[in-house]
């Protein structure tokens, strides 16, 4: 049975198959030995680092074979970087992803309406995955209508969290799980997700594997 960690900041994750997040504004060397990676600029990095050189770095690395997704990138109203700057950088990521036909792993906090508007305006056709989702029902409904995927993390361990409640009704062909920056075993999140949707561990693992192969085409 294979457990897939959709998004992790750890170079020693608990899953055999994982997508390591490479922040082009923060990370120094790009490790070619990591099988699957995503490359992008986190919204929190925009106020701390030189963005033009980081974007150049994203463009240089995005076409590598082991880069199977663009991101994480996105919008965050809690970031010190202005929303205007965040939007400009997000659009650059979406353009790169569209040119290469690669999905985007998105960080979004309190700006989902803006995200949906921007993606529509840019006519994005590649899969868009909201990582670490813990939003409310209204947000989830809007994302579902617009074809987004959701990746669920440690919030699932709180039985009454938005994430746990949303997963109960979310289409399983559009879901993933992730550890993000936590030290949780990915298997724990698989077990919890399976319990929430009343599926055996092997069943939820098969669904996520199918989703991974379809969206990321590794």
Tell me the per-residue pLDDT of 35-60, one tens digit each, with 9 for 90 and over: 999 999 999 999 777 899 999 999 99
Q: What is the tens place of the pLDDT at every residue in 83-126? A: 999 999 999 999 999 999 999 999 999 999 999 999 999 999 99
Q: Domain 4-216: give its CATH code.
A: 3.20.20.140
Cross-strand bridge partners of residue 175: 150
Average pLDDT for 27-42: 93
* DSSP secondary structure letter of residue 154: G
pLDDT reported for residue 138: 97
pLDDT reported for residue 49: 79
Q: How confident is the model at residue 81 (pLDDT cuts 50, 70, 90)?
A: confident
pLDDT reported for residue 78: 94
Q: Are 1 and 204 in contact (CB under 8 A)?
A: no
The whole-angstrom separation of Cα 26 and Cα 17 is: 23
Which residues, 6+ apart, have CB-to-CB distance to 211 below 8 Å?
149, 173, 174, 175, 176
Would you say residue 28 has pLDDT above 80?
A: no
Q: What is the tens place of the pLDDT at every residue in 159-215? A: 999 999 999 999 999 999 999 999 999 999 999 999 999 999 999 999 999 999 999
What's phi and psi for 122, nearest 5 deg? -85, 0
pLDDT reported for residue 11: 81
pLDDT reported for residue 80: 86
Cα diameter, the chain: 47
Q: Are 176 and 6 in contact (CB under 8 A)?
A: yes
pLDDT reported for residue 12: 76
pTM, two decimal places: 0.97
Q: Are 109 and 76 in contact (CB under 8 A)?
A: yes
pLDDT reported for residue 40: 97
Q: Are 76 and 108 in contact (CB under 8 A)?
A: yes
**Percent of the chain surpassing pLDDT 70:** 100
Would you say residue 27 has pLDDT above 90?
A: no
């Amino acid at each position: 049975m294979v457990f897939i960690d959709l998004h992790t900041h750890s170079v020693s994750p608990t899953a055999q198959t994982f997508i390591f997040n490479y922040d082009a504004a923060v990370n120094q060397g790009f490790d070619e030995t990591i099988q699957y990676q995503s490359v992008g600029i986190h919204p929190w990095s925009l106020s701390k680092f030189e963005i033009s050189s980081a974007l150049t770095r994203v463009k240089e690395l995005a076409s590598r074979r082991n880069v199977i997704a663009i991101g994480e990138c996105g919008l965050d109203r809690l970031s010190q970087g202005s929303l205007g700057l965040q939007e400009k950088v997000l659009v650059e990521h979406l353009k790169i992803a569209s040119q290469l036909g690669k999905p985007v792993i998105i960080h979004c906090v309190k700006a989902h309406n803006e995200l949906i508007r921007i993606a529509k305006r840019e006519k994005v056709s590649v899969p868009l995955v909201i990582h670490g989702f813990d939003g409310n029902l209204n947000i989830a409904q809007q994302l579902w209508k617009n074809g987004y995927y959701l990746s669920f993390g440690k919030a699932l361990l709180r039985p009454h969290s938005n994430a746990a409640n949303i997963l109960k009704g979310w289409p399983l062909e559009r879901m993933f799980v992730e550890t993000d920056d936590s030290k949780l075993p990915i298997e724990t999140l698989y077990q919890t997700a399976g319990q929430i949707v009343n599926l055996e561990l092997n069943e939820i693992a098969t669904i996520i594997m199918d989703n991974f192969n379809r969206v990321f085409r590794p």
